[in-house]
Structure 1
Amino acid sequence: MFLSVHSQYSLRYGTLSIAQIIDLALAHGVQSLVLTDINNSTGCMEFIRACRERNRTLPNEQHLNPLIGIDFRDDYNFLYLGIAKNKEGMKELNDFLTLHNLEKKPFPAVPPSLNNAYWIFPFKNYPSTLPDHAFVGIRKEELNFLHKLDLQFLKNKLVIYHPITISDKKTHRVHQYLRAIEESTLLTKIDPHKTCKPTEVFTTIETLKNQFAQYPFIIENTHQLLQNCTTSMYDFGHKNKKTFTGTKSDDVAFLKKLALNGLVYRYGRKNKVAHERLLKELKVIDELNFCAYFLITWDIIRYSMSRGYYHVGRGSGANSIVAYCLKITDVDPIELDLYFERFLNHKRTSPPDFDIDYSWDEREDVQDYIFKRYGRNHTALLGTMSTFKDRSIIREIGKVMGLPASEIESYTDPTLNLDHQDQSALNKIKAIYTYINGFPNQRSIHAGGVLISEEPITYYTALDLPPKGMPTVQWDMYEAEAIGLDKFDILSQRGIGHIREAVNWVSLNKGITIDIHNFAAFKNDKTVNERLKMADAIGCFYIESPAMRQLLAKLNCENYLTLVAASSIIRPGVASSGMMKSYIQNYHNPKNIKYLHPVIEEQLKETYGIMVYQEDVIKICHHFAGLDHADADILRRGMSGKYRSKVEFDKLKDRFFEGAKQLNRDLETTLEVWRQVSSFAGYSFSKAHSASFAVESYQSLYLKTYYPMEFMVAVINNYGGFYSRWLYVHELQKTGANVRLPCVNHSDTKVSISGKTVYLGWERIAGLETKWAELIPHERKLNGVFTSLEDFLKRTEITLEQCILLIRIGALRFTKQSKKELLWNVHLLLGTKTKPSNTSTLFNEPVPQFQLPDLETTLLEDAYQELELLGFSHSLTPFELLQTKYRGMAFAKDLKNYVGKTVKMVGNYVCEKTVYTKTNTKMWFGTFLDVNGDFFDTIHFPNSTPNYPFRGMGCYLIYGRVIDDFKVYGIEVLRFEKLPFKKNPILP
């Protein structure tokens, strides 16, 4: 009898979770009910599955009949309900909603007739002519209006409309808070028409029937409508596109052919180990119906490579030799002893996926190809659901209560145990916070997930059109997994843009073609490995941060396997647990390692007795306790919180101890092995992930080693990485490049290079409009270089304000006039006009000449203008801007001679990092350049930093004690002060 139930997925409106709806329905003896969230179908599949799960525990006569539909509203004004008769009907409703979402069209007053769905209109606003399969929903309080009507027309059309939104008075108050938050208004000013009625609660079927007893035909119509609806045809599991070629047998044959061809490319013709593993993987892939998934991924890679795009295959997919042979990844799983079971096995309950990274400006084209290749009806981006969380809830509640901002901020301690004068306000905040913490808040878009379904995807969801502009499902990856849709992660990162553009610049600037996928050559290159050992990696993916550069130096890292390990132990969990320090110590003293057991030594010798990877957990469980690889992976996932069945997990734990006992492991050793395994597994990192990162790091490092100018230009053009832009320009200058400020006759939108000459581009000049950044190089390429200021103004029609920016940055220096002369002349030419006249003249009219006083510009003026417009000074270094000529008593290269001693240094600020100690106090790590351009790092303990804080960019006088950490030298800061620059001569 309940034709419209709203869940929390009616965002900022509904108050009930799916589980609460089911509990309340059962408590009130309800058996058929329709979930109709407002303008979305997010919860429909979850509702069906949850009801079926609950039915397994109930007698047949109490089974719930879950029905689904959509509540269509315009700005929360109720238009009509759509209720699906069956699966086809839900598709019709989802298609209708999708059409209006994607085309941003308002809903019509009267929707189209649908063959497999019912429409229900509100009694106060139903059309004179009802579409087929349409009804009119009437509330209890509206029954009095029937006395005035001729019911001949309506008798077969009236049904009970008793929507469910809340459970009691308290949740009605929560609902009002949600509505006020949505409307960005005070609680006292909420429009009552935009809230639900206090009566929108569950009641018993008998009570509902008694309310409509005077009109039994309404009860019968409602009952008959529900009887005509079903969701029984919905099933879940393996909803991805089933085949790539058209038949499963052809998929198997085609995948095998591609893999065997790739095997020759990767390993040659005589590698028996690789051949046997390949066949074994292909068998599992076939048995688990994953052939199409592999082939679709291969097809995506094939397309992107045909377009010249560079990709990196990451994640547990790198554990697969089939993926390696299909060029999905560049990680050799045999070389790294990676288990395929980590990616795919018969006992895995959640689907795996491939993570494919592209450059930030190429991913969208790859996604567009997927939509066109596999059909927009079957393809969509994956959504996400953000929730109300912690302090953001408190701020939202405070705003709608009308509290001042200062008072709201005083409440934002998540514990809310504060002593405030207004205790009533605090109590209200606590009460509402308790209710809505974790509520769904907004639908958004997943970082890169793409779904490709065998059936039209609107059988399962309507689609949104977020700002990205591609259809997106209305639920997240967990719901996709539950339905049976395995995502393809098509991601982006700047590091790939660095590599791609650097390869292009090398081709353009030096005429050299680089096979960037020839990783085997890079990792064995002595010069590249020497640079790696020196930790000279600015601009290189994943290894340029201060922490990573220090770790590489501490390890004397000079090979691929050590870099793979470093890429894992730098992770916060491993580092904070003390395992990073243990690894470094064991790395330098391998003969002093005391292994817990010979099996531990055999399996962890590569990582010096330390579990570094998730795969290490699997290895130990398998070799020490006898679990097969699939069970070992389930145990590992359970420890990381990703396995949902505690009963099954406990069984595997018991099997670990039983297996160890059968292998004659003593109990004391087994308990210690279990302790280490369980303590590490929660924050472990996949070796395949680390290996993928290391591959990309090597590719970057190769380019930086042999083509440093082109590489650094590519880094700058792709928005850098860990550091600010000025540092990459500094690094570019260190390569011997002649870096020049933007020039209208040479610069493009981005940084450009010709030989050893580099011109900075237009796009990062503060205040310069994109229009001119694109027009200036375009005009120059069409009609030649600019010959004078007048020529430039006439051909570009640039505004006075924008031209002044170009003059101040020195972009018109080709005229041989000083900046001040140019400023005088541009005001003379443009006057108060926003742009010069476009009227053609028969002859070039001479510009009046004036005798001007000496208007030279100093380097100091230039430097301050560059600081303002570029964010850094090109004409003078920060050291040259200092008032003092003091540069310190020691330099970075000398620190090894001062260990244990105090020194004074002058450093140019690069970056800082704040961390919390075990006592929850703050400490800082700083990174600086000395006057020679060499890095050094500082440590600021809590007792010193508050007295000597960081104050942003600039140079600092640093006084501290030199420390030695595995031959990496830093300064433990005792005193610290920012040094003043010379006065800006432009300012009064």
Structure 2
Amino acid sequence: MYLNCKTYFSFRYGTFATEELVKAATQIGVTAMALTNINSTCDIWDFVQFCRQQGIKPITGAEIRNDGQLLYILIAAGNKGLYWINELLSTHLQNGKPFPEQAKEQPFFTDPKDGYVIYPLGTKAPEQLFVNERIGVLPSEVNKLYSIDLKLTADKWIIRQPVSFQNKTYYNVHRLLRAIDKNVLLSKLSTADYCSADEYFMPPDKLLDAFRQYPFIVTNTYKLMDNCSIEMDFKTDKNKKIFSSTKEDDRILLKKLTADGFAFRYGKNKLAAERVAKELKIIDELGFNAYFLITWDIIRYAQSRGFYHVGRGSGANSIVAYCLQITDVDPIELDLYFERFLNPHRTSPPDFDIDFSWLDRDEVIDYVFKRYGKKQVALLGMYSTFQYRAVVRELGKVFGLPKEEIDQLAAGGNADDKIQQQILRYGRLIENFPNHLSIHPGGMLIAEESIYEYATVFMPPKGFPTVQMDMFVAENIGLYKLDILSQRGLGHIKESLRLIKENQGVDINIHDFKKFKTDKRVNDQIKRVQTIGCFYIESPAMRQLLKKLECDDYITLVAASSIIRPGVASSGMMKAYIERYHDPENIDYIHPVMKELLQETFGVMVFQEDVIKVAHHFAGLDMGEADILRRAMSGKYRGNQEMMRIKEKWFLNCRERNYPENITAEVWRQIESFGGYSFSKAHSASFAVESYQSLYLKTYYPKEFMVAVINNFGGFYSRELYFLELRKTGATIHAPCVNKSEYYTHITGNDVYTGFIHIKSFQEEVVQQLLEERNKNGLFLHLQDFIERTNITKEQLNMLVSIGAFRFTGKKKKQLLWEANFLQKKNMTHVPAASSLFADAPFKFQLPAFVDDPLDDLYDELESLDFTLGNPFDLVNDDPHKYHLAKDLPANLNKIVTTLIYFIDYKVVTTIRQERMSFGTFLDVNLDWVDTVHFPESLKNYPIKGRGFYKVTGKVVSDFGVYNIEVHKLYKIGYKERKYANL
């Protein structure tokens, strides 16, 4: 009877969580029910599984709406029917087409036996219904049946009892969600925009009583439900199973490709050969040959297009992946734990995260769609959820609160009246509801069968088909993602190689990693923490960690890449690691077994492999259970009950092994601290490889490297910091010039010309027009020539004059602005260059002798670019040299100093007492780093107020050779007053 149930995956409509819906049905004795979310099949498989657990027969379907108007409900009679529903939804959602209002010439579904269509009463005449169509009657609509002759169409009527919310409270939640969705005040919400107040689990006896005069309608409803079923084997792998023609061919091909790669990677190495044979055997036994070959195929395509990649994830533990050039991490060198990558208990294939430049990734994704078929391939979806503060803001608007009140509530202020109290109450209820569909950062599904067997596909703005399914549901049914990701760091490397080739004529083999990791200059760069612009090792926290470790080698950098993760840091184990790293002879291991397992990392669990080893060898969990622990701590596991079972077994096993309770509890605490924030060793090693590649380029080609970082608009810091770092390389940085600059920043010799893209509000089409005209007809001769040839608008022209783009003329900016204004008024039209060259001489102007103040130029740069191209301290209204500098801090340890510094960044954290404190990152006048610590009292009394200059007084402290200032006082210092004198 409950053939029209919804969860909160009817976005901004339903209020039930999926499991909650099923449990609520169980409580009233429901034995069969259908999930029909609005234009959505997001949680179909979770629903099926939860129903099976509760002994309920699951029925699948969807409620079809156009712009909120209910058209009909589609019910799948079986898996073929669900396929058809997914395909219908996908076709219309991808193309943005409205759904047909009803079936006309022929029935919906390929075969009418595959499913049912239920129309609301009054939308289609009973005598017009096809064989598989029904009319659903609400309990509140029974009285409308009195005037209808039901004899001829008696088999076409069924009960329709929608279920959208739990109770009166959640009915209010539903109405609030609808107001949020419609972006209207609650009082302005139309009754057509929300459901009726009886769309809850009406008890079965009450439903039957409502239709007591129409027993055939009850019979029809039960008959329909009896004719429906759905099958799903959750335990089978549904990824593409064959790459070539047969499974045996796949095995032979993978073995051959691995052998070819082995010769390249190792030559002759008995230990490596033994591991290759072991891996190939298990890969074949577990049915993962095709998975490796597909990944290899994607890499092969990328290499053929000249795309650079980094392979990481647990698959980087694999020597087969290393031989196939999927990764550049040597598992023999790093003694990578084979069982982390693959073990006989593991049912899912290893994780391959393949990073490409942000410029190349979409082409790689497009190749996968074309190579493996659009019906078999889709991007993986995910759900954006309502976060509490955002919900409070939305509810504030729905209730019509003024912005000031909304801001105060969202910031955690007290609720002063009944409405504000309601907002906070309902905000807590809505928190973590799915808000809308989104895209997983990199996951792709490549299925053996059509994606429509499992999910609906929609088309997000990204432009690639994406499933209405997140990674948890996908993995639960046996579809395992392949991550094809993008990152700016690879863009830095690719652009660097291009610029180095163009500017210096040098070709670099960026894959020559063995050379990079042993290069003394590169390792010295790490030790001196000269890492700005380098992937993963440029943040303040990472730079401080590298300094504390005095890191100057690859192995230490691999560990540092994982130690910096929040789980290790927050548990206190990062501090312990640093201490033990510097004093390895005096380590007090918590237990002899832990020494045996973790001697390489000084008794500290640093990598995910460490947890697997400890769980298996210390606590006696089998490898399958250890892998569940690994997945739980990496945020990829969703079964809390299973985790509780494993935790109980952990403590039980440890008691049986007679470990002291305090040691057992402490080791478990360390494992729990990883909580979603740790890396596998191979993953960290992959990051370290890329860091070394960036470091090599930064060390030997610093100018080109920093230009590449600037052109990729990606990194930890703002563009300003990277221009300052470029300045430190000795490059001569020029403001944009109409005759020298390009759209992006470029380098010629030692000269760097800032790209037009950095000029705020300067239109891209104007840049393209400028460049096309210059490339076609030569350099611009003077201002008049530029205006005639480009026909640029006054506003856009003034931007170029202000930034100094016409300095080649030798004229002052103020003079150029006067001339530009006059020439624009003359309504100059576009003149071909050939005509312009032989035209009369340009207008001559009788103007006063203007003077350009250097301070004005700095302000012009600040206004046009958001930063200056020179030292920012040229603008400060104080003398920075009379204060302590960064280089003075070691000599003033534990003393109070005052310094004048320029803001770069800061990070706010919450203390154990739930107070806010922060860590600041600044520069001194020499552009050297000054790091600050702002404890809660200091931060409260002297808050950091954004970018600019600060005079800071505080105590110099040191932690493993890293110097910071504990801030006691902080004052913002102003800029020099701009001079507007014209003569």
CA contact (8 A) 2:358 2:487 kept: yes
Match of 1:6 in 2: 6
The correspondence of residues 176-187 of structure 1 with structure 2, limited to 5 A, is 176-187=175-186
CA contact (8 A) 1:560 1:694 kept: yes
Change (3 A) 1:154 1:624: closer
Change (3 A) 1:598 1:121: closer
- Is 1:345 the counterpart of 2:343? The answer is yes
Change (3 A) 1:604 1:155: closer
Worse overlay, 545-554 or 954-963:
954-963
Deviations 1:64-108 (A, max 9, x none): 321111111112111112111221111112111111111111122
- Is 1:406 the counterpart of 2:398? The answer is no
1:674 to 664, 667, 673: 667
Q: Secondary structure at the match of 1:107?
A: coil
Q: What CA distance in whole angstroms lies between the structure 2 residues aligned with 1:434 and 1:729? A: 45
The correspondence of residues 708-857 of structure 1 with structure 2, limited to 5 A, is 708-831=702-825, 844-857=839-852
CA contact (8 A) 1:878 1:955 kept: no
CA contact (8 A) 1:638 1:649 kept: no
Worse overlay, 669-678 or 234-243:
669-678
- Is 1:34 the counterpart of 2:34? The answer is yes
Match of 1:877 in 2: 871
- Is 1:536 the counterpart of 2:535? The answer is no
Match of 1:84 in 2: 76
How many Å apart are 1:681 and its aligned residue?
Answer: 4.4
Q: Secondary structure at the match of 1:485?
A: coil
How many Å apart are 1:437 and its aligned residue?
Answer: 3.2
Match of 1:124 in 2: 122
CA contact (8 A) 1:348 1:634 kept: no
Match of 2:17 in 1: 17
How many Å apart are 1:457 and its aligned residue?
Answer: 0.7
Worse overlay, 808-817 or 481-490:
808-817
Match of 1:59 in 2: none
CA contact (8 A) 1:800 1:833 kept: no
Change (3 A) 1:122 1:221: same
- Is 1:173 the counterpart of 2:162? The answer is no
Match of 1:706 in 2: 700
Q: Secondary structure at the match of 1:312?
A: strand
Q: What CA distance in whole angstroms lies between the structure 2 residues aligned with 1:622 and 1:378? A: 38
Change (3 A) 1:582 1:844: same
Normalization by structure 1: what TM-score? 0.92
Q: In the comparison of the two structures, how many residue pairs are matched?
A: 970
Unaligned runs of 5+ in 2: none
Deviations 1:759-786 (A, max 9, x none): 1101111110111222222322222222
Match of 2:365 in 1: 367
How many Å apart are 1:429 and its aligned residue?
Answer: 3.6
How many Å apart are 1:126 and its aligned residue?
Answer: 1.4
- Is 1:102 the counterpart of 2:94? The answer is yes
- Is 1:71 the counterpart of 2:63? The answer is yes
Q: Secondary structure at the match of 1:498?
A: helix
Q: Secondary structure at the match of 2:654?
A: helix
Change (3 A) 1:546 1:243: same
- Is 1:970 the counterpart of 2:970? The answer is no
Change (3 A) 1:456 1:194: same
Unaligned runs of 5+ in 1: 56-63
Change (3 A) 1:22 1:972: closer
Match of 1:242 in 2: 241
Match of 1:657 in 2: 654
Q: What CA distance in whole angstroms lies between the structure 2 residues aligned with 1:451 and 1:372? A: 13
Which AA in structure 2 matches 1:384? M
Match of 2:469 in 1: 475
Q: What CA distance in whole angstroms lies between the structure 1 residues aligned with 2:624 and 2:128? A: 62
Worse overlay, 317-326 or 120-129:
120-129
Match of 1:232 in 2: 231
1:396 to 394, 397, 406: 394
Q: Secondary structure at the match of 2:757?
A: coil
Match of 1:252 in 2: 251
Q: What CA distance in whole angstroms lies between the structure 2 residues aligned with 1:54 and 1:180? A: 34
Q: What CA distance in whole angstroms lies between the structure 2 residues aligned with 1:393 and 1:319? A: 42
Change (3 A) 1:426 1:786: closer
Q: Give the root-mean-square deviation of aligned CA atoms.
A: 2.8
- Is 1:163 the counterpart of 2:156? The answer is no
Q: Secondary structure at the match of 2:532?
A: coil
Q: What CA distance in whole angstroms lies between the structure 2 residues aligned with 1:436 and 1:832? A: 62
Change (3 A) 1:175 1:150: same
Q: Secondary structure at the match of 2:756?
A: coil
Q: Secondary structure at the match of 1:38?
A: coil
Change (3 A) 1:797 1:964: same
CA contact (8 A) 2:261 2:324 kept: yes
Q: Secondary structure at the match of 1:880?
A: helix
Q: What CA distance in whole angstroms lies between the structure 2 residues aligned with 1:671 and 1:70? A: 50
Q: What CA distance in whole angstroms lies between the structure 1 residues aligned with 2:962 and 2:196? A: 68
Q: What CA distance in whole angstroms lies between the structure 2 residues aligned with 1:961 and 1:23? A: 59
Q: Secondary structure at the match of 1:467?
A: coil
Match of 1:617 in 2: 611
CA contact (8 A) 2:743 2:767 kept: yes
Q: Secondary structure at the match of 2:36?
A: strand
The correspondence of residues 318-329 of structure 1 with structure 2, limited to 5 A, is 318-329=316-327
Change (3 A) 1:371 1:492: same
Which AA in structure 2 matches 1:83? I
Match of 2:859 in 1: 864
Which AA in structure 2 matches 1:192? T
How many Å apart are 1:800 and its aligned residue?
Answer: 1.2
How many Å apart are 1:652 and its aligned residue?
Answer: 4.2
Match of 2:46 in 1: 46
Match of 2:190 in 1: 191
Change (3 A) 1:650 1:814: closer
Q: What CA distance in whole angstroms lies between the structure 1 residues aligned with 2:256 and 2:189? A: 65
Worse overlay, 248-257 or 22-31:
22-31
Worse overlay, 902-911 or 371-380:
902-911
Deviations 1:572-630 (A, max 9, x none): 23223322222222222223323344544444333233322222233344554565655
Match of 1:61 in 2: none
Q: What CA distance in whole angstroms lies between the structure 2 residues aligned with 1:226 and 1:599? A: 58
Change (3 A) 1:29 1:946: closer
How many Å apart are 1:248 and its aligned residue?
Answer: 1.3
Match of 2:443 in 1: 449
How many Å apart are 1:971 and its aligned residue?
Answer: 2.7
Which AA in structure 2 matches 1:202? F
CA contact (8 A) 1:36 1:68 kept: yes
Deviations 1:147-200 (A, max 9, x none): 544556644433333322234333323322222222222222221122212222
How many Å apart are 1:217 and its aligned residue?
Answer: 4.0
Q: Secondary structure at the match of 2:75?
A: strand
Q: Secondary structure at the match of 2:882?
A: coil
Q: What CA distance in whole angstroms lies between the structure 2 residues aligned with 1:202 and 1:546? A: 55
Deviations 1:528-563 (A, max 9, x none): 111111111111111112222222122211100111
CA contact (8 A) 2:457 2:466 kept: yes
How many Å apart are 1:703 and its aligned residue?
Answer: 0.4
How many Å apart are 1:889 and its aligned residue?
Answer: 4.6
Match of 1:915 in 2: 909
Normalization by structure 2: what TM-score? 0.93
Change (3 A) 1:474 1:805: same
CA contact (8 A) 2:77 2:115 kept: yes
Which AA in structure 2 matches 1:649? I
- Is 1:497 the counterpart of 2:495? The answer is no
How many Å apart are 1:485 and its aligned residue?
Answer: 0.6
Match of 1:60 in 2: none
Deviations 1:342-378 (A, max 9, x none): 1332323665421111111211111111111111111
- Is 1:383 the counterpart of 2:381? The answer is yes
CA contact (8 A) 2:629 2:643 kept: no
Which AA in structure 2 matches 1:606? E
Q: What CA distance in whole angstroms lies between the structure 1 residues aligned with 2:26 and 2:656? A: 45
Change (3 A) 1:277 1:711: same
Which AA in structure 1 matches 2:185? L
